[in-house]
Amino acid sequence: MATTTASEKLSQELSQGPAESVSTRLVSLDVFRGLTIAGMILVNNAGDWEHVYWPLEHAPWHGWTPTDLVFPFFLFIVGVSMSLSFAARQAKGATQSSLLAHSVKRSLLIFAIGLALNAVPVFFVPGHHLRIYGVLQRIAIVYLVSSMVVLYLGRAGRLITILACLFGYWAALMLIPVPGFGAGNLTMNGNLVGFIDRKLLYEHLWIEHRFDPEGLLSNIPAVATCLVGVFVGDLLRASYSAMIKLRWLIIAGVLGLVLGKIWDLSFPINKNLWTSSYVIFTAGFAMVMLGICYWLVDIKRWRGWSRPFQFMGMNPLALYALSMLVAEFSYIVRVRFQGRMIPLKVYIFDQFYRPIASPDAASALYGLTYVLTFLILGWILYRQKIFIRV
Protein backbone atom coordinates (compact mmCIF):
# COMPACT_ATOMS: atom_id res chain seq x y z
CA MET A 1 0.00 0.00 0.00
CA ALA A 2 1.52 3.33 -1.09
CA THR A 3 2.16 6.08 1.46
CA THR A 4 2.28 9.85 0.89
CA THR A 5 4.81 12.07 2.64
CA ALA A 6 3.85 15.46 4.05
CA SER A 7 5.83 17.26 1.32
CA GLU A 8 4.18 15.18 -1.42
CA LYS A 9 0.76 15.91 0.03
CA LEU A 10 1.51 19.62 0.10
CA SER A 11 2.69 19.53 -3.52
CA GLN A 12 -0.51 17.75 -4.52
CA GLU A 13 -2.61 20.40 -2.77
CA LEU A 14 -0.75 23.18 -4.55
CA SER A 15 -1.15 21.47 -7.90
CA GLN A 16 -4.91 21.42 -7.46
CA GLY A 17 -4.92 25.07 -8.52
CA PRO A 18 -7.06 27.99 -7.42
CA ALA A 19 -9.38 27.41 -4.50
CA GLU A 20 -10.13 30.92 -3.31
CA SER A 21 -9.34 34.43 -4.38
CA VAL A 22 -8.02 37.09 -2.07
CA SER A 23 -10.26 39.99 -3.03
CA THR A 24 -10.94 41.41 0.39
CA ARG A 25 -8.62 43.26 2.75
CA LEU A 26 -6.48 40.99 4.90
CA VAL A 27 -7.59 41.95 8.39
CA SER A 28 -4.78 39.83 9.86
CA LEU A 29 -2.20 42.02 8.12
CA ASP A 30 -3.72 45.15 9.65
CA VAL A 31 -3.70 43.44 13.05
CA PHE A 32 -0.07 42.34 12.70
CA ARG A 33 0.87 45.85 11.56
CA GLY A 34 -0.97 47.36 14.53
CA LEU A 35 0.70 44.97 16.97
CA THR A 36 4.06 45.92 15.48
CA ILE A 37 3.41 49.65 15.75
CA ALA A 38 2.22 49.18 19.34
CA GLY A 39 5.47 47.33 20.03
CA MET A 40 7.55 50.08 18.41
CA ILE A 41 5.82 52.73 20.54
CA LEU A 42 6.17 50.65 23.72
CA VAL A 43 9.91 50.00 23.44
CA ASN A 44 10.59 53.66 22.59
CA ASN A 45 8.79 55.06 25.64
CA ALA A 46 10.01 53.61 28.90
CA GLY A 47 9.15 55.75 31.90
CA ASP A 48 12.70 55.56 33.24
CA TRP A 49 15.51 54.31 31.01
CA GLU A 50 17.50 53.27 34.05
CA HIS A 51 14.82 50.72 34.89
CA VAL A 52 13.60 48.62 31.95
CA TYR A 53 12.59 44.96 31.81
CA TRP A 54 14.98 43.06 29.53
CA PRO A 55 12.36 42.18 26.85
CA LEU A 56 11.78 45.92 26.38
CA GLU A 57 15.46 46.67 25.80
CA HIS A 58 17.57 46.11 22.71
CA ALA A 59 20.37 43.57 22.97
CA PRO A 60 23.58 45.44 23.93
CA TRP A 61 25.22 44.36 20.66
CA HIS A 62 25.14 40.77 19.34
CA GLY A 63 22.04 38.70 20.07
CA TRP A 64 18.41 39.68 20.22
CA THR A 65 15.49 40.46 22.51
CA PRO A 66 11.78 40.85 21.63
CA THR A 67 12.48 44.56 21.16
CA ASP A 68 14.87 43.75 18.31
CA LEU A 69 12.04 42.10 16.37
CA VAL A 70 9.64 45.02 15.97
CA PHE A 71 11.46 47.12 13.36
CA PRO A 72 12.24 44.24 10.96
CA PHE A 73 8.64 43.10 11.43
CA PHE A 74 7.49 46.47 10.12
CA LEU A 75 9.80 46.39 7.08
CA PHE A 76 8.58 42.85 6.38
CA ILE A 77 5.00 44.14 6.53
CA VAL A 78 5.91 46.96 4.14
CA GLY A 79 6.92 44.28 1.65
CA VAL A 80 3.72 42.26 2.13
CA SER A 81 1.62 45.39 1.69
CA MET A 82 3.61 46.42 -1.38
CA SER A 83 2.77 43.15 -3.14
CA LEU A 84 -0.93 43.49 -2.36
CA SER A 85 -1.13 47.22 -3.12
CA PHE A 86 0.80 47.17 -6.39
CA ALA A 87 -1.25 44.23 -7.67
CA ALA A 88 -4.51 45.99 -6.80
CA ARG A 89 -3.39 49.25 -8.45
CA GLN A 90 -2.19 47.48 -11.57
CA ALA A 91 -5.53 45.66 -11.80
CA LYS A 92 -7.14 49.11 -11.94
CA GLY A 93 -4.88 50.22 -14.77
CA ALA A 94 -1.88 51.74 -12.99
CA THR A 95 1.35 51.63 -15.01
CA GLN A 96 4.86 50.90 -13.81
CA SER A 97 5.83 54.55 -14.24
CA SER A 98 2.84 55.81 -12.24
CA LEU A 99 3.56 53.33 -9.45
CA LEU A 100 7.20 54.38 -9.40
CA ALA A 101 6.20 58.06 -9.23
CA HIS A 102 3.88 57.24 -6.33
CA SER A 103 6.70 55.36 -4.56
CA VAL A 104 9.17 58.22 -5.03
CA LYS A 105 6.71 60.80 -3.65
CA ARG A 106 5.80 58.60 -0.70
CA SER A 107 9.43 57.84 0.12
CA LEU A 108 10.41 61.51 0.02
CA LEU A 109 7.51 62.40 2.30
CA ILE A 110 8.34 59.70 4.84
CA PHE A 111 12.03 60.67 4.81
CA ALA A 112 11.14 64.35 5.26
CA ILE A 113 8.85 63.57 8.22
CA GLY A 114 11.59 61.53 9.88
CA LEU A 115 14.16 64.26 9.36
CA ALA A 116 11.74 66.91 10.65
CA LEU A 117 11.11 64.89 13.81
CA ASN A 118 14.85 64.59 14.36
CA ALA A 119 15.16 68.37 13.90
CA VAL A 120 12.69 69.24 16.66
CA PRO A 121 15.26 69.08 19.52
CA VAL A 122 17.73 71.17 17.49
CA PHE A 123 15.49 74.22 17.92
CA PHE A 124 14.96 73.75 21.64
CA VAL A 125 18.04 72.01 23.06
CA PRO A 126 21.29 74.02 22.90
CA GLY A 127 24.14 72.09 21.28
CA HIS A 128 21.91 69.31 19.97
CA HIS A 129 23.13 67.92 16.64
CA LEU A 130 20.71 66.93 13.92
CA ARG A 131 20.57 63.17 13.41
CA ILE A 132 20.25 62.43 9.68
CA TYR A 133 19.33 58.76 9.91
CA GLY A 134 16.32 57.30 11.72
CA VAL A 135 13.53 54.75 11.64
CA LEU A 136 11.32 56.64 9.20
CA GLN A 137 14.31 57.46 7.00
CA ARG A 138 15.16 53.77 6.77
CA ILE A 139 11.57 52.91 5.92
CA ALA A 140 11.64 55.52 3.14
CA ILE A 141 14.90 54.28 1.61
CA VAL A 142 13.96 50.60 1.82
CA TYR A 143 10.49 51.25 0.42
CA LEU A 144 11.86 53.14 -2.59
CA VAL A 145 14.56 50.62 -3.46
CA SER A 146 12.24 47.65 -2.92
CA SER A 147 9.51 49.20 -5.05
CA MET A 148 11.93 49.59 -7.96
CA VAL A 149 12.98 45.96 -7.63
CA VAL A 150 9.35 44.82 -7.52
CA LEU A 151 8.30 46.96 -10.47
CA TYR A 152 11.16 46.21 -12.82
CA LEU A 153 12.42 42.73 -11.90
CA GLY A 154 10.54 39.46 -12.02
CA ARG A 155 10.40 37.00 -9.15
CA ALA A 156 13.72 35.48 -10.13
CA GLY A 157 15.25 38.97 -10.11
CA ARG A 158 13.82 39.66 -6.67
CA LEU A 159 15.27 36.42 -5.33
CA ILE A 160 18.66 37.24 -6.82
CA THR A 161 18.44 40.71 -5.24
CA ILE A 162 17.75 39.19 -1.82
CA LEU A 163 20.70 36.82 -2.12
CA ALA A 164 22.96 39.61 -3.41
CA CYS A 165 21.98 41.85 -0.49
CA LEU A 166 22.59 39.15 2.11
CA PHE A 167 25.82 37.65 0.79
CA GLY A 168 27.17 40.93 -0.57
CA TYR A 169 26.68 42.59 2.81
CA TRP A 170 28.27 39.62 4.58
CA ALA A 171 31.28 39.80 2.25
CA ALA A 172 31.64 43.55 2.74
CA LEU A 173 31.64 43.38 6.54
CA MET A 174 33.86 40.31 6.73
CA LEU A 175 36.36 41.00 3.94
CA ILE A 176 36.80 44.78 3.60
CA PRO A 177 39.35 46.03 6.14
CA VAL A 178 38.61 49.02 8.37
CA PRO A 179 41.68 51.20 9.10
CA GLY A 180 43.01 50.37 12.54
CA PHE A 181 40.79 47.31 12.97
CA GLY A 182 41.22 45.12 9.91
CA ALA A 183 38.60 42.99 8.16
CA GLY A 184 35.79 41.09 9.86
CA ASN A 185 35.68 43.28 12.97
CA LEU A 186 32.05 43.49 14.14
CA THR A 187 32.55 45.63 17.25
CA MET A 188 30.86 49.03 17.50
CA ASN A 189 34.08 50.90 16.77
CA GLY A 190 35.61 48.48 14.28
CA ASN A 191 32.80 47.60 11.85
CA LEU A 192 32.58 48.87 8.28
CA VAL A 193 29.06 50.33 8.71
CA GLY A 194 30.17 52.71 11.46
CA PHE A 195 33.40 53.57 9.65
CA ILE A 196 31.53 54.73 6.55
CA ASP A 197 28.98 56.71 8.58
CA ARG A 198 31.67 58.47 10.60
CA LYS A 199 33.39 59.52 7.39
CA LEU A 200 30.14 60.87 5.93
CA LEU A 201 28.17 62.22 8.90
CA TYR A 202 30.38 62.31 11.99
CA GLU A 203 28.34 64.82 14.03
CA HIS A 204 24.98 63.53 12.87
CA LEU A 205 24.97 59.97 14.22
CA TRP A 206 22.93 58.47 17.04
CA ILE A 207 25.46 57.00 19.46
CA GLU A 208 28.16 59.43 20.58
CA HIS A 209 29.14 60.28 17.00
CA ARG A 210 30.43 56.71 16.70
CA PHE A 211 27.58 54.67 15.29
CA ASP A 212 24.02 54.76 14.03
CA PRO A 213 21.76 51.67 14.02
CA GLU A 214 20.06 52.96 10.86
CA GLY A 215 23.35 53.57 9.06
CA LEU A 216 23.78 53.94 5.31
CA LEU A 217 25.36 50.57 4.45
CA SER A 218 22.96 48.52 6.57
CA ASN A 219 20.08 49.66 4.37
CA ILE A 220 21.27 46.95 1.96
CA PRO A 221 20.21 43.94 4.07
CA ALA A 222 17.13 45.87 5.22
CA VAL A 223 15.98 45.84 1.58
CA ALA A 224 16.19 42.04 1.73
CA THR A 225 13.87 42.07 4.77
CA CYS A 226 11.29 44.00 2.76
CA LEU A 227 11.62 41.81 -0.33
CA VAL A 228 11.02 38.66 1.71
CA GLY A 229 7.75 40.32 2.71
CA VAL A 230 6.96 40.84 -0.99
CA PHE A 231 7.21 37.10 -1.59
CA VAL A 232 4.87 36.50 1.35
CA GLY A 233 2.45 39.04 -0.11
CA ASP A 234 2.55 37.12 -3.41
CA LEU A 235 1.65 33.97 -1.50
CA LEU A 236 -1.24 35.61 0.35
CA ARG A 237 -2.80 37.00 -2.82
CA ALA A 238 -2.47 33.70 -4.68
CA SER A 239 -5.63 31.70 -5.32
CA TYR A 240 -4.98 28.77 -3.01
CA SER A 241 -6.80 27.74 0.12
CA ALA A 242 -6.15 29.60 3.33
CA MET A 243 -4.79 26.48 5.02
CA ILE A 244 -2.23 25.91 2.26
CA LYS A 245 -1.05 29.51 2.63
CA LEU A 246 -0.86 29.12 6.40
CA ARG A 247 1.13 25.91 6.07
CA TRP A 248 3.65 27.54 3.75
CA LEU A 249 3.96 30.55 6.07
CA ILE A 250 4.78 28.36 9.06
CA ILE A 251 7.15 26.06 7.15
CA ALA A 252 9.05 29.00 5.64
CA GLY A 253 9.06 30.82 8.98
CA VAL A 254 10.52 27.89 10.91
CA LEU A 255 13.11 27.38 8.17
CA GLY A 256 14.11 31.04 8.45
CA LEU A 257 14.49 30.76 12.22
CA VAL A 258 16.71 27.69 11.88
CA LEU A 259 18.86 29.10 9.08
CA GLY A 260 19.22 32.40 10.89
CA LYS A 261 20.48 30.67 14.03
CA ILE A 262 22.90 28.54 12.01
CA TRP A 263 24.38 31.60 10.28
CA ASP A 264 24.51 33.31 13.68
CA LEU A 265 27.35 30.93 14.58
CA SER A 266 29.69 32.68 12.15
CA PHE A 267 27.92 35.99 11.40
CA PRO A 268 26.15 37.02 14.60
CA ILE A 269 22.54 38.13 14.78
CA ASN A 270 22.84 41.87 15.38
CA LYS A 271 20.09 44.46 15.02
CA ASN A 272 22.47 47.44 15.06
CA LEU A 273 24.40 46.06 12.09
CA TRP A 274 21.27 44.44 10.55
CA THR A 275 23.39 41.39 9.79
CA SER A 276 22.29 38.86 7.18
CA SER A 277 21.63 36.26 9.87
CA TYR A 278 19.40 38.83 11.59
CA VAL A 279 17.46 39.33 8.33
CA ILE A 280 16.78 35.61 7.90
CA PHE A 281 15.99 35.01 11.58
CA THR A 282 13.61 37.96 11.97
CA ALA A 283 11.92 37.30 8.62
CA GLY A 284 11.29 33.74 9.78
CA PHE A 285 9.90 35.05 13.05
CA ALA A 286 7.68 37.52 11.17
CA MET A 287 6.26 34.76 8.97
CA VAL A 288 5.38 32.68 12.01
CA MET A 289 3.74 35.65 13.74
CA LEU A 290 1.82 36.65 10.62
CA GLY A 291 0.76 33.03 10.24
CA ILE A 292 -0.62 33.03 13.78
CA CYS A 293 -2.53 36.27 13.12
CA TYR A 294 -3.79 34.88 9.81
CA TRP A 295 -5.06 31.72 11.50
CA LEU A 296 -6.73 33.54 14.38
CA VAL A 297 -8.19 36.51 12.50
CA ASP A 298 -8.83 35.46 8.90
CA ILE A 299 -9.33 31.70 9.22
CA LYS A 300 -10.91 31.24 12.67
CA ARG A 301 -12.29 34.81 12.58
CA TRP A 302 -11.60 35.38 16.29
CA ARG A 303 -11.46 39.15 15.96
CA GLY A 304 -12.73 40.68 19.19
CA TRP A 305 -9.29 40.82 20.81
CA SER A 306 -7.69 42.23 17.67
CA ARG A 307 -9.88 45.26 16.97
CA PRO A 308 -7.70 47.86 18.74
CA PHE A 309 -4.63 46.68 16.84
CA GLN A 310 -6.55 46.54 13.57
CA PHE A 311 -7.52 50.19 14.00
CA MET A 312 -3.94 51.17 14.83
CA GLY A 313 -2.72 49.18 11.84
CA MET A 314 -4.85 51.27 9.48
CA ASN A 315 -3.02 54.50 10.42
CA PRO A 316 0.42 53.09 11.23
CA LEU A 317 2.99 55.68 10.19
CA ALA A 318 0.85 58.64 11.23
CA LEU A 319 0.36 57.22 14.74
CA TYR A 320 4.02 56.27 15.04
CA ALA A 321 5.23 59.71 13.90
CA LEU A 322 2.82 61.43 16.27
CA SER A 323 4.01 59.25 19.14
CA MET A 324 7.58 60.33 18.41
CA LEU A 325 6.57 63.99 18.31
CA VAL A 326 4.71 63.79 21.62
CA ALA A 327 7.68 62.01 23.20
CA GLU A 328 10.05 64.73 21.97
CA PHE A 329 7.93 67.50 23.47
CA SER A 330 7.48 65.61 26.75
CA TYR A 331 11.23 66.13 27.23
CA ILE A 332 11.37 69.64 25.80
CA VAL A 333 8.45 71.11 27.77
CA ARG A 334 9.55 71.97 31.32
CA VAL A 335 7.49 72.41 34.46
CA ARG A 336 8.50 73.88 37.80
CA PHE A 337 8.62 71.39 40.66
CA GLN A 338 10.13 72.00 44.09
CA GLY A 339 11.97 75.07 42.90
CA ARG A 340 13.52 73.61 39.75
CA MET A 341 12.52 73.11 36.13
CA ILE A 342 12.21 69.49 35.03
CA PRO A 343 10.94 67.80 31.84
CA LEU A 344 7.20 67.20 31.74
CA LYS A 345 7.76 63.47 31.28
CA VAL A 346 9.91 63.27 34.41
CA TYR A 347 7.26 65.13 36.39
CA ILE A 348 4.45 62.84 35.20
CA PHE A 349 6.47 59.68 35.84
CA ASP A 350 7.67 60.75 39.29
CA GLN A 351 4.24 61.91 40.44
CA PHE A 352 1.93 59.27 39.01
CA TYR A 353 3.92 56.12 38.23
CA ARG A 354 6.97 55.83 40.47
CA PRO A 355 4.93 55.78 43.73
CA ILE A 356 2.66 52.88 42.70
CA ALA A 357 5.07 50.13 41.63
CA SER A 358 8.64 48.92 41.59
CA PRO A 359 10.99 50.94 39.36
CA ASP A 360 10.92 48.44 36.46
CA ALA A 361 7.16 47.91 36.71
CA ALA A 362 6.46 51.65 36.93
CA SER A 363 8.63 52.26 33.86
CA ALA A 364 6.78 49.57 31.89
CA LEU A 365 3.41 50.85 33.10
CA TYR A 366 4.23 54.30 31.75
CA GLY A 367 5.05 52.79 28.36
CA LEU A 368 1.84 50.73 28.34
CA THR A 369 -0.20 53.84 29.16
CA TYR A 370 1.50 55.59 26.25
CA VAL A 371 0.56 52.73 23.91
CA LEU A 372 -3.02 52.70 25.23
CA THR A 373 -3.31 56.40 24.44
CA PHE A 374 -2.45 55.78 20.79
CA LEU A 375 -4.65 52.70 20.59
CA ILE A 376 -7.54 54.93 21.65
CA LEU A 377 -6.50 57.55 19.10
CA GLY A 378 -6.40 54.85 16.43
CA TRP A 379 -9.95 53.83 17.39
CA ILE A 380 -11.13 57.46 17.19
CA LEU A 381 -9.59 57.89 13.74
CA TYR A 382 -11.22 54.68 12.57
CA ARG A 383 -14.63 55.70 13.92
CA GLN A 384 -14.32 59.02 12.11
CA LYS A 385 -13.21 57.23 8.92
CA ILE A 386 -9.94 59.14 8.93
CA PHE A 387 -7.09 57.24 7.30
CA ILE A 388 -3.91 59.26 6.98
CA ARG A 389 -1.88 57.95 4.07
CA VAL A 390 1.77 58.74 4.58
Q: Confirm if 175 and 167 have CB atoms less than 8 A apart.
A: no
Is residue 63 predicted with pLDDT exceeding 70? yes
Task: Note the pLDDT of residue 20.
Answer: 35
Query: HSE on the CB side for 250, CA within 13 Å?
Result: 11
pLDDT score, position 24: 54
> Is the sign of the CA dihedral 295, 299, 305, 308 positive or negative?
positive
CB 324 within 8 A of CB 44: yes
Residue 92 lies inside a defined structural domain of this protein? yes
Q: Which domain holds residue 270?
A: 23-49+72-383
Distance (Å, whole) CA 71 – CA 44: 11
Partners of 335 in beta bridges = 342
- 105-131 residue pLDDT tens: 999 999 999 999 999 888 877 777 888
Q: Is the pLDDT of residue 225 over 70?
A: yes
Q: How confident is the model at residue 204 (pLDDT cuts 50, 70, 90)?
A: confident
CA torsion, ordered 364, 365, 367, 371, to nearest 10 deg: 130
pTM (2 d.p.): 0.90
Please tell me the predicted confidence (pLDDT) of residue 203: 75
Contact predicate 263/280, CB 8 Å: yes
Nearest by Cα to 83 from 225, 237, 282, 220: 237
**245: in domain:** yes
If 0-12 CB within 10 Å is exposed, 13-18 middle and 19+ buried, where does residue 19 land?
Answer: middle
| Cα first-last separation, the chain | 59
For residue 318, tell me if it sits in a domain: yes
User: Distance between alpha carbon 74 and the CA centroid of its chain, in Å?
Assistant: 3
Give domain status of residue 269, yes or no: yes
Task: Yes or no: say if 256 and 285 are a contact pair by the CB < 8 Å rule.
Answer: yes
Question: For residue 304, with 0-12 CB atoms within 10 Å meaning exposed, 13-18 middle and 19 or more buried, which class applies?
Answer: exposed
Q: Which amino acid is it at 74?
A: F
Closest CA to 239 of 86, 87, 20: 20
Buried b (16+ CB within 10 A) or exposed e, 228-239: bbbbbbbbbbbe
For residue 6, tell me if it sits in a domain: no
Output the CA angle 317-272-288, nearest 5 degrees: 65
Contacts of residue 190, Cβ cutoff 8 Å, sequence gap at least 6: 178, 180, 181, 182
Element (H, E) at 307: helix 307-313
Distance of CA 87 to the CA centre of its chain: 22
pLDDT confidence of 42, banded at 50, 70, 90?
A: very high
pLDDT, one tens digit per residue, over 323-342 is 999 999 998 999 988 888 88
- Per the CB < 8 A criterion, the answer to whether 201 and 131 are in contact is no
Neighbouring C-beta atoms of residue 197, cutoff 10 Å = 25
Mean pLDDT (whole number) for 34-52: 95
Please say if the pLDDT value at position 1 is more than 80: no
Nearest in space to 216 (alpha carbons), one of 241, 243, 196? 196
Contacts of 341 (CB under 8 A, 6+ apart): 334, 335
Find out whether 137 and 215 touch, Cβ atoms under 8 Å: no
Q: Residue 345 pLDDT > 60, yes or no?
A: yes
Give the chain's domain count: 1
The answer to the question of residue 15 being in a domain is no
- Report which residue type is found at 18: P
- Return d(Cα 106, Cα 145) in angstroms, integer: 12
- Half-sphere exposure for 257 (CA within 13 Å, toward CB): 12
Range with the poorest average pLDDT among 163-172, 181-190, 279-288, 381-390: 381-390
In a domain, 4, yes or no: no
Domain assignment present for residue 13? The answer is no
Asked if pLDDT for residue 14 goes beyond 70, the answer is no
Q: How many contiguous H segments (helices) and E segments (strands) does the chain have?
A: 14, 2
Residues 6+ apart with CB under 8 A from 287: 76, 232, 249, 250, 252, 253, 256
